[in-house]
Amino acid sequence: MSIQEDIQQLQKELAHHAYLYYVKDAPIISDYDYDVLYRKLVELETAHPEYIVPTSPTQRVGAKVEGSFEKVVHGQRMLSLSNVFDDAEVEQFGVRCEKELGHAPQYVVELKIDGLAVNLHYENGLFVRAVTRGDGRVGEDVTANVKTIQSIPLIIDNAPPFIEIRGEAYMPHKEFKRINEEREEAGLQTFVNPRNAAAGSLRQQDPAITASRNLDFFAYAIGSSEGSNIHTQQELLEQLEAFKFHVNPHYKVCQSIAEVVEHIHYWDVERHNLPYDTDGMVIKVNDFEDQETLGTTAKDPKWATAFKYPPEEVETIVKDITINVGRTGVLTPTAELESVFVSGTNVSRATLHNEDFIKEKDIRIGDTVRIHKAAEIIPEVISVVVDKRKSDSVPYEMPNACPVCESPTVRREGEVAIYCSNEHCPAVEKEGIIHFASRDAMNIDGLGPSIVEALVTNHRIETVVDLYHLKEEDITSLERMGKKSAQNLLKAIDDSKQRGLGRVLFGLGIRLIGAKAGQTIAKYFTSIDSLMNATIDELTNIDEIGPTMAKSLVEYFGNERNRQLIEGLRHAGVRLEEEVQEAAGNELEGQIIVLTGKLTSMGRSEAGAILEAHGAKVTGSVSKKTTLVIAGDDAGSKLTKAEQLGIPVMDEQGLLDLIKDF
């Protein structure tokens, strides 16, 4: 086989594995094996650039966009949808369709994804352009950014000479939560909701930033096309799946408008369990001939409409505004609320983000406010009910001194956050230690916030290095800590020394470096010494590490106090290297496994690494695609959901039996 054929084979193979991973959620090789293939392709393409094609998996992240985005006219207008808001209006839509058609049509009901509409152009099966909806006639060319969305195929088989694929780019809840936490810690403005986050991500000048935000895409329509032979919306969705697009699986073909209403009622409750935002249901007449008969108005199709669920908002009272000092020194205000039930849980606190957020909404202590849950997860104040404000209320002012150490507060140029000016503030040190001990960092079992608080307050520790010099009597001197508890904690601290460089990097709390980035960097450099001397250019050579993250790393390691901290960890015996795990076998190929509860023989991360080394995909949530749940002690909702779905469940002994022969 020639070099060109080798490259083409690898490009095709990697594209197939990306489809299985990002669209079907059913990988057949481990992440490590994928990385090996990807690196091999990079090496071959670097040596033979004449064989690089735009659709290669290595070309998803391109160069920065210079200036504004180019305007593009849509081949076929991207119409908006009319809205209906209750059962009666849905039924009226059905009556009108039946009257104009002279018969009762079938309907397809789809979830209305709350994201950004995008139009994808394919020529002879090759992805060539992505355009935002814009005003429906003209949109913006965001090809470089959309190309980073892994669930969008760069090649589609058996496609007509030209076709426009339309759908919704969106941000999953877990990414929204992760990004906002990182932005808040970095003193940056947080996104209001996942839709705004997705829209902002698609309009970045640097595609690497878009790539780091892990957007996804659901395809649901076709625009202009040459030679397509599709007769119904159901066939269209099936064709999009055949093209290997991510199609939302929750659509339903309904035989009557009454069935449509019933389906809408079902999703009014169930939609809160989805890992992404929806703001309604889209109702479409199924048959394309019927659609053509019904036609369109100047703005929207008469054969489709969108049912909008009313937002779940409630009123409550701001009893107080408290300030928390985080591990980066950021002062975060929180509204202490009268407890109120919203979207399935009681809510008594809501973050107020920063000074600008409070001033923009003019939130004051004693105000009646309207709240909801952003992304169905995070309680958020929407607005103040000014008519109910007390006459003696006064605007809230952020403190000009740290509430913990009383040092002056500062607001850095270009940032929205207010910081404690004391980098040795006890709150910063304490929160840093709590973070260092957390599950995704060093995973020190038993070292929770209350124990860290006691150790700091009683002057047993000041930095994370001090953890590794604790003695039994240091711990037993604390309230409610006996000898056995102290021995268990010391063992957990000692065990954490072997977590590896990736965990240490995340545990150090370096600005903008999350758990995933820590592992990625550690696998690339493998030792702390080579990383500490890396340049920004060397760091940005790593996939998913952009210039802002690289600058943060260089600044961190350029600080002498941080270098002394790392030396202290080294002398304490903490492993500051990363072992790159090689694939050990494929015995669990095709298995999608969830670990839940407490394992006594090993940590969940260690168990997950073993399972992945033998071909399994280990995920954090239970779904219909999950093939096995391994439940340790105190397993909670994930075990319950597995039992409800009839997914096989294995205990810790079963896990040990499973892996002993590997």
CA distances from 428 to 165, 329, 414, 508 (A): 49, 6, 22, 12
407: left (phi > 0), else alpha (psi -120 to 50), else beta? beta
- Quote the CA–CA distance of 489 and 445 in Å, as a whole number: 7
- Strand ranges (E), 309-454: 314-325, 331-342, 345-351, 368-374, 378-384, 409-410, 419-420
Structural element, H or E, at residue 486: helix 483-495
- What b/e string do you get for 80-94 counting C-beta neighbours within 10 Å, with b at 16 or more? ebeebeebeebeebb
224, two tokens: 């202009």
- Quote the CA–CA distance of 445 and 597 in Å, as a whole number: 13
Structural element, H or E, at residue 456: helix 449-457
- Quote the CA–CA distance of 651 and 631 in Å, as a whole number: 5
645 contacts: CB under 8 Å, gap ≥ 6: 622, 624, 626
- Quote the CA–CA distance of 176 and 579 in Å, as a whole number: 31
Q: Are 27 and 37 in contact (CB under 8 A)?
A: no
Query: Of 12, 99, 112, 497, which is the active-site residue?
Result: 112
DSSP 366-407: T-EEEEEEETTTEEEEEEE-GGG--TT-------SB-TTT-P
- Quote the CA–CA distance of 206 and 142 in Å, as a whole number: 11
Helix, coil or strand: residue 494: helix
Q: Which of 551, 441, 491 is nearest to 186 (CA)?
A: 551
Residues pairing with 383 in the sheet: 370
320 contacts: CB under 8 Å, gap ≥ 6: 335, 336, 365
Q: Catalytic site residue 299?
A: no
Phi, psi of 147 (to 5 degrees): -60, -20
- Quote the CA–CA distance of 174 and 620 in Å, as a whole number: 11
Q: Are 282 and 303 in contact (CB under 8 A)?
A: no
Place of tokens 């780019």: 169
Cα dihedral 152, 153, 156, 161 sign: positive
- Quote the CA–CA distance of 608 and 614 in Å, as a whole number: 10
- Quote the CA–CA distance of 218 and 302 in Å, as a whole number: 23
Helix, coil or strand: residue 246: coil
Catalytic amino acids? 112
